[in-house]
């Protein structure tokens, strides 16, 4: 069978194998929740059926045809398949991924550990990661669980010892959730004068490998480190001395701790903030000036020129301080040397947010709650951009429901002071680049944000042409999460982003920097490309609840890594300027 001609060779969305993978993951996560075995088996069986099914089901759904009767696939699973075919996502899977601690899946890779025992470890001992299991094994607690015993515990100890940990990476909020309590603890220690996290976390990289903690304290007698090691959420101490330690946290992250004296704190901060490439380039510069730079300070002929403050190191090397977000050896030292460092954008530069949802589609808070939260932030505007009808999993709006929301926005705007709600939509960009709602309706809106939530598998050329065509629509304003990546989960789809940026420039459109920490899309590199072409970016929260406006902090971090200044952001503009730019 083939897609209908009118859909212009409608591309194949998710294929059967991908649907099978989703079902297998659901089965595994359900098992980790110790769910009903029949339900788990239903997903496993359905996955098996799908692996052997040659008709691409998603194509049938796209063509509006009924699905063939398949063994083990009843009403419920058919709905899941339809959801996946339409949106490329599965809400149940998303929910399970949120509910089941990510570290639990790792336990399954150990000998003798299946879902049942993993569930038992979690519920009876609170073990939710390899690091936590190490601790439980070390404490002799595992052998006491029913069905475990000493033999299995020994086996686990050997398996754990042979694994190198710390290779996993973490999203910024996951890292923050582990770093926050640790920093709070360290800061209240009487012996600790200063505590900071350096490394990729300070540089606001999109994912973080480990935490590099820097403490200012007197390390001499080992008292300071002893106090550090009393932090309750430590699962394992890999190594420790008076000035350095390497730890595993219960949350799974690894931490490198260094204790340094006040007169080299700045040098250590500079060194351990990295990146390695930036550090090497800076050291080369020091050498060219007849100096030596290391984590203790900047020296010439054995005399210390700087070390106490980070900024002093740069200054002694003839440079203004370089913001951590730029330290990737991608031109920042040269720019600093010629006084061309950008004045990086800050959260306070934003005058509003141009992408958010309410409970009219898949958000949690009401329009009023979102508006009041925006008002409390002192914003001038907030664009309400629900999903459109085609994204049925997200309860997307059709014409009638959108019109009703527009009336509601009018009423609220009469009432609100200081804040203007803009009428918008996050309209689905269909496979061929057309939009999911009629032009007459889009014409009534203040702002049209377009997004791709399906058909990720198109060729690079077709995906690029699809987005270009979407921007050709007369009412199109902003391309949401342009590259479609989901960090640690899904690669961006093949796309000629430079062409897309050039097309946006030509069409007077804008691109989004989506601040959701699993997206951060555009990424830093693409931000630079857009800035270079003079295409303004909407740094947007994509909030689904009022508290999500806080996520803008992550978007700003990425924007700064992308060299963006306030003037490079669409939503740093006043309402009047914004309206002009949106035409």
Chain contacts with ligand DGT (rule: CB under 6 A): 199-200, 205, 208-210, 212, 271-272, 274-276, 279-280
Taking CB under 5 A as the binding criterion, the range among 56-64, 196-204, 312-320, 575-583 that sits at the site for Ca ion is 196-204
404 binds, among ligand DGT, Ca ion, none (CB under 5 to 8 A by kind): none
Report yes or no: 531 and 568 within 8 Å, Cβ to Cβ: yes
Alpha helices in 416-481 (DSSP H): 439-442, 460-472
**At its nearest, how many Å lie between ligand DGT and the CB of residue 380?**
37
Among Ca ion, ligand DGT, none, partner that 279 touches (CB below 5 to 8 angstroms by kind) = ligand DGT
Select 205 or 485, whichever has its Cβ closest to ligand DGT: 205
Contacts of 82 (CB under 8 A, 6+ apart): 61
Q: Which residue is nearest to Ca ion (CB)?
A: 199
Interacting partner of 466 out of Ca ion, ligand DGT, none (Cβ under 5 to 8 A depending on kind): none
Shortest Å, Cβ 416 to ligand DGT: 42
Segment near Ca ion (CB under 5 A); pick from 156-164, 215-223, 254-262, 499-507: 254-262
Residue 436: which of Ca ion, ligand DGT, none does it interact with, CB under 5 to 8 A by kind? none
Token match 């309206």: residue? Answer: 579
In 3-state terms, what secondary structure has residue 68?
Answer: coil
Cβ 237 to ligand DGT shortest distance, Å: 18
State which residue, 200 or 358, has the beta carbon closest to ligand DGT.
200
Question: Shortest approach of ligand DGT to residue 403 CB, angstroms?
Answer: 48
For the CB of residue 200, give the shortest distance to Ca ion in the complex, in Å. Answer: 5
Residue 207 CB contacts under 8 Å (≥ 6 apart), including other chains: 169, 170, 171, 172, 200, 487, 488
What minimum distance in Å lies between the beta carbon of 336 and ligand DGT? 18
Closest CA to 216 of 268, 281, 262, 162: 262
Residue 339: CB minimum distance to ligand DGT, A = 25
Q: Please tell me what DSSP assigns to residue 216.
A: E
Kindly tell me which of 271 and 379 has the beta carbon lying closer to Ca ion. 271
Closer Cβ to Ca ion, 245 or 373, answer by number: 245
Considering the rule CB under 5 A, would residue 135 count as an interface residue with Ca ion?
A: no
Q: Is 324 in the site for Ca ion (CB under 5 A)?
A: no
According to the binding rule CB under 5 A, does residue 210 interact with Ca ion? Answer: yes
- State the Cα–Cα distance between residues 503 and 507, nearest whole angstrom: 6
Q: What are phi and psi of 547, to 5 degrees?
A: -65, -15
Cα 361 to Cα 358: distance, rounded to the nearest angstrom: 6
Minimum distance from residue 313 beta carbon to Ca ion (Å) = 20
Instruction: Classify 513 as helix, strand or coil.
Output: strand
Per CB under 5 A, 328 contacts Ca ion: no
Contact 329, 283 (CB under 8 A): no
Q: Which is nearer to ligand DGT, 269 or 526 (CB)?
A: 269
Least Cα distance to 558 among 506, 508, 495, 487 occurs for 487
Per-residue contact string for residues 145-184; x = within reach of Ca ion by CB under 5 A: ----------------------------------------
CB of 182 to Ca ion, least distance (A): 14
Nearer to ligand DGT, 102 or 209 (CB): 209
Q: Which is nearer to Ca ion, 118 or 260 (CB)?
A: 260
Q: Tokens for 44?
A: 């496993």
The option from ligand DGT, Ca ion, none interacting with 275 (CB < 5 to 8 A, set by class) reads ligand DGT
Burial class, 218, CB count within 10 angstroms (exposed 0-12 / middle 13-18 / buried 19+)? middle
What would the two tokens of residue 189 be? 């220690």
In 3-state terms, what secondary structure has residue 121? Answer: helix
Scored b (16 or more CB within 10 A) or e, 19-52 reads bbebbbbbbbbbbbbebeeeebebbbbbbebbee
Residue from 13, 56, 103, 199 touching Ca ion (CB under 5 A): that is 199
Q: How far is the CB of 209 from ligand DGT (least distance, A)?
A: 3
Closest contact distance (angstroms) between CB of 229 and Ca ion is 18
173 interacts with, out of ligand DGT, Ca ion, none, CB within 5 to 8 A per kind: none
Min. distance of Cβ 254 from ligand DGT in angstroms? 9
Left (φ > 0), alpha (ψ -120 to 50) or beta: where does 178 sit? alpha
- What stretches of 464-557 adopt beta strand conformation (E)? 478-479, 510-514, 537-540
Binding part of the chain for Ca ion, among 226-234, 250-258, 307-315, 548-556 by CB under 5 A, reads 250-258
Interface segment toward Ca ion; rule CB under 5 A; list 26-34, 96-104, 256-264, 277-285? 256-264
Tell me: does residue 256 bind Ca ion (CB under 5 A): yes
Cβ atoms of residues 193 and 186 within 8 Å: no
Give residue number: closest CB to ligand DGT.
274
DSSP 50-116: HHT--S-HHHHHHTTPPPPP-TT--HHHHHHHHHHHHHS--HHHHHHHHHS-HHHHHHTTSTT--HH
Cβ neighbourhood burial of 109 (10 Å; 0-12, 13-18, 19+): exposed
**Based on CB atoms, which residue is closest to ligand DGT, 287 or 399?**
287
How far apart, in Å, are the Cα atoms of 81 and each of 7, 19, 148, 362?
21, 7, 39, 19
Least Cα distance to 94 among 497, 393, 498, 500 occurs for 393
Q: Measured between alpha carbons, how far is 259 from 219 in angstroms, rounded to an integer?
A: 6
Considering the complex, state which of residue 271 and residue 379 has its C-beta at the smaller distance from ligand DGT: 271
212 touches Ca ion by CB under 5 A: yes
Of 558 and 572, the one with the shorter C-beta distance to ligand DGT is 558
- Looking at residue 69, the DSSP 8-state letter turns out to be P
* CB nearer Ca ion, residue 257 or residue 356: 257
Residue partners of 40: CB distance under 8 A and separation at least 6: 27, 30, 31
Q: Which residues bind Ca ion (CB under 5 A)?
A: 199-200, 210, 212, 256
């Amino acid at each position: 069978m083939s897609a209908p001609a009118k859909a212009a060779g409608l591309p194949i969305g998710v294929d059967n194998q991908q649907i099978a993978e989703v079902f297998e993951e659901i089965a595994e996560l359900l098992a980790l929740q110790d769910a009903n075995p029949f339900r788990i088996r239903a997903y496993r069986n359905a996955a098996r059926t799908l692996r052997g099914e040659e008709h691409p089901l998603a194509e049938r759904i796209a063509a509006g045809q009924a699905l063939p009767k398949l063994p083990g696939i009843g009403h419920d699973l058919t709905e899941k398949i339809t959801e996946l075919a339409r949106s490329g996502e599965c809400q149940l899977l998303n929910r399970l991924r949120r509910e089941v601690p990510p570290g639990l899946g790792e336990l399954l890779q150990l000998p003798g550990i299946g879902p049942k025992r993993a569930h038992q470890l979690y519920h009876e001992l609170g073990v939710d990661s390899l690091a936590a299991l190490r601790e439980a094994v070390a404490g002799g607690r595992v052998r006491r669980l029913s069905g475990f015993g000493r033999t299995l515990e020994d086996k686990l100890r050997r398996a754990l010892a042979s694994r190198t940990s710390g290779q996993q990476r973490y999203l910024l909020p996951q890292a923050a959730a582990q770093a926050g309590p640790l920093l709070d603890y360290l800061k209240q220690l009487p012996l600790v004068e200063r505590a900071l996290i350096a490394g990729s976390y300070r540089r606001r990289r999109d994912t973080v490998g480990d935490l590099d903690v820097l403490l200012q304290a007197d390390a001499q007698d080992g008292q300071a480190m002893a106090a550090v090691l009393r932090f309750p959420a430590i699962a394992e101490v890999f190594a420790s001395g008076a000035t350095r330690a390497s730890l595993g946290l219960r949350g799974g992250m690894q931490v490198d701790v260094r204790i340094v004296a006040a007169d080299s704190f700045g040098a250590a901060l500079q060194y351990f903030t990295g990146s390695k490439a930036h550090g090497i380039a800076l050291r080369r510069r020091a050498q060219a000036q007849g100096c030596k730079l290391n984590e203790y300070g900047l020296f010439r002929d054995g005399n210390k020129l700087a070390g106490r403050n980070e900024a002093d190191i740069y200054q002694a090397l003839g440079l203004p301080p370089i913001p951590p977000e730029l330290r990737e050896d991608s031109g920042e030292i040269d720019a600093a040397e010629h006084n061309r460092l950008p004045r990086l954008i800050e959260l306070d530069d934003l005058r509003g947010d141009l992408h958010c949802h309410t409970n009219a589609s898949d958000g949690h808070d009401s329009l009023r709650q979102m508006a009041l939260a925006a008002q409390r932030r002192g914003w001038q505007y907030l664009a309400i951009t629900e999903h459109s009808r085609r994204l049925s999993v997200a309860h997307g709006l059709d014409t009638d429901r959108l019109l009703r929301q527009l009336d509601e926005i009018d009423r609220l705007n009469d009432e609100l002071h200081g804040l203007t709600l803009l009428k918008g939509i996050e309209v689905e960009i269909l496979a061929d680049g057309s939009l999911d709602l009629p032009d007459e309706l889009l014409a009534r809106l203040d702002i049209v944000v377009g997004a791709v939530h399906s058909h990720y598998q198109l060729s690079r050329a077709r995906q690029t042409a699809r987005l270009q065509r979407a921007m050709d629509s007369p009412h199109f304003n902003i391309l949401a999460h342009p590259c479609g990546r989901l960090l640690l989960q899904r690669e961006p789809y093949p796309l000629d982003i430079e062409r897309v940026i050039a097309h946006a420039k030509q069409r007077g459109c804008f691109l989004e920097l989506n601040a959701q920490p699993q997206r951060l899309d555009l990424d830093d590199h693409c931000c630079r490309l857009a800035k270079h072409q003079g295409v303004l970016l909407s740094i947007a929260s994509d909030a689904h609840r009022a508290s999500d406006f806080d996520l803008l902090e992550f978007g700003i971090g990425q924007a700064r890594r992308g060299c963006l200044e306030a003037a490079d952001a669409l939503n740093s503009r006043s309402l009047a300027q914004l309206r002009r730019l949106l035409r």
